[in-house]
Amino acid sequence: MSILIYNAQIVTPTKVIQNGSILIEEDRIIAIEEGLIQSSVQPTECIDVHGSYVLPGLVDSHSDAIEMELEPRPSSAFPMEVSFYELEKKLVGEGITTIYHSLSLLDEDAKKWVRQNRTVLNTIKEIHGLAQGEFLIRHKIHLRYEITNVTALEDVKELLRNGHIHQLSFMDHTPGQGQFRDIEIHRKLLMEHRHFSETEANEIIEAHRTQQKLDPKLIQDLADLALEHGIPVASHDDDTVEKLEVVKDWHAVICEFPIELAVAKKAKEMGLSVVMGAPNVMLGKSHSNNLSAMEAIHENVVDILCSDYYPSSLLHAAFKLYSTGLPLQQAVNLVSLHPAKALHIEGHVGSLEIGKKADLLIVRTDAHRPILQSVYVNGKVVCQLNYQIPARVPIT
């Protein structure tokens, strides 16, 4: 089967091809040209997109969405098979065609069921199994390993060895440093977002401040194992340049959510791919009062945007950046090619280039607001959206 998409604005890694066409054969892109493609391959379907954009499918390197799908309310635990397939429909409807499910391995008795050791380990195995069957999008695992979790080390090693983890990040959420360096903001988060009383919040903060951490040698052994198996390693919430030196020893190639601009700049100098949250771009600030993504992008130190906790933000953030003056191809690279490169999958996905998998989006705009129309994965339509504006009904 072959498909010709034409009359399109095609967003490649280096430019936007006006009045372009793209030819797909089976699951691959075989031609991209300005005007109509002249080819010996006769398309079985021709699609006029009437000037809409054609973008690569979005690659989300860090998404917590599966946690919310599994446990939308405290003590409300939904079955994995329901959560997996329902979330997949939501993600493809946001233009995400490759997802790295970020699972936080906190500890055995984490207050959130979805972050307890047994839950996370089972979730990884279940996602791995479901992803082998029929799917709408590509599913991968990003394990966020809390270095205060001293009991799950051997389990993580086994997951690395058997290929169930595709990205490993090391986290330290000890209050007083990193993301929670401001104790007052951390207390407010626990009380307003997690609904703890002030007394409970203070008890949690004190307990976390005194937690035991893994021996640095054991962390290094885990990082060495990830390197041995070709699994990209990321740091998380770096707040000092000194921490960057440590994470480089852990073979980190990604710096997620640096806390300050100076740290982001240093990470970039050291060759790390700097990740910021697309919600931060949309809101114009960090919800934790840390580095502004817009500021970091203007300083040219951001390589990747991830959806973090809000999947809708990826596509919207790219078009917001375009509306503020960033060339569209550069904005799109932040949510497609750059994460694919950092995660070593750019040979197959992440950009519209000949020979790559035909994962692509057809997007029109209303002013600068992106409106997703179609999603292709492996050259097949997996999502078709037809927005109908209802008639305006007067209020009587």
pTM of the model: 0.91
pLDDT at residue 270 is higher than 60: yes
The structure tokens listed for 80 are: 């994995």
Q: State residue 185's pLDDT score.
A: 63
State whether CATH 2.30.40.10 applies to domain 2-56+352-384: yes
CB 334 within 8 A of CB 302: yes
Label residue 290 by pLDDT band (50, 70, 90): confident
DSSP class of residue 287 equals T
pLDDT of amino acid 283: 94
Phi and psi dihedrals of 15, rounded to 5? -165, 170
Reply yes or no on whether the pLDDT at 281 is more than 90.
Answer: yes
Q: Which helix (H) or strand (E) holds 158?
A: helix 153-161
Most confident of 77-81, 186-190, 340-344: 340-344
More confident of the two residues 315 and 210 = 315
**Rounded alpha-carbon distances, angstroms, from residue 357 to 29, 230, 332, 382:** 6, 22, 17, 14
- pLDDT score of 207 more than 80: no
Judged on CB neighbours under 10 Å (0-12, 13-18, 19+), 375 is: buried
Residue type, 306: C
Mean model confidence pLDDT for the chain: 91
Q: Which residue has the tokens 């040698």?
A: 217
**pLDDT tens across 164-174, in order?**
999 999 998 56
Beta-carbon-side half-sphere exposure of residue 369 (alpha carbons within 13 Å): 3
Question: Phi/psi at 167 (nearest 5 deg)?
Answer: -155, 140
One-letter amino acid identity for 111? Answer: K
Domain spans, the chain = 2-56+352-384, 58-342
Residue 313 CA to residue 137 CA, distance in Å, equals: 18
Q: Which residue has the tokens 């060339």?
A: 327
pLDDT of 324 higher than 70: yes
- pLDDT of amino acid 286: 81
Query: Mean of the pLDDT values across residues 64-90?
Result: 94
213-251: per-residue pLDDT in tens?
A: 889 999 999 999 999 999 999 999 998 999 999 999 999
Is the CATH code 3.20.20.140 the one for domain 58-342? Answer: yes
Q: From the centroid of its chain, how far is CA 33?
A: 30
Give the model's pLDDT for residue 271.
97
Sort strands 273-277 and 96-105 into parallel, antiparallel or unpaired: unpaired
| Mean pLDDT, rounded, for 71-94 | 94
- pLDDT per position as a tens digit, 259-269: 999 999 999 99
Q: What pLDDT does 202 receive?
A: 65
Q: What is the pLDDT of residue 40?
A: 85
Give the start-end residues of each E strand in 66-166: 96-105, 138-146
Q: Is the pLDDT of residue 4 over 60?
A: yes
- Give residue-wise pLDDT tens across range 329-387: 999 999 999 999 999 999 999 999 999 999 999 999 998 899 999 999 999 999 999 87
Read off the pLDDT band of 74 (50, 70, 90). confident
* 134-186 residue pLDDT tens: 889 999 999 999 998 999 999 999 999 999 999 999 998 565 445 565 666 65
For tokens 């607001």, the residue is 369
More confident residue, 257 or 390: 257
Q: Are 25 and 239 in contact (CB under 8 A)?
A: no
- Write out pLDDT tens, residues 108-140: 888 789 999 999 999 999 999 999 888 899 999
Residues 66 and 91: their CA atoms lie apart, in Å, by 10
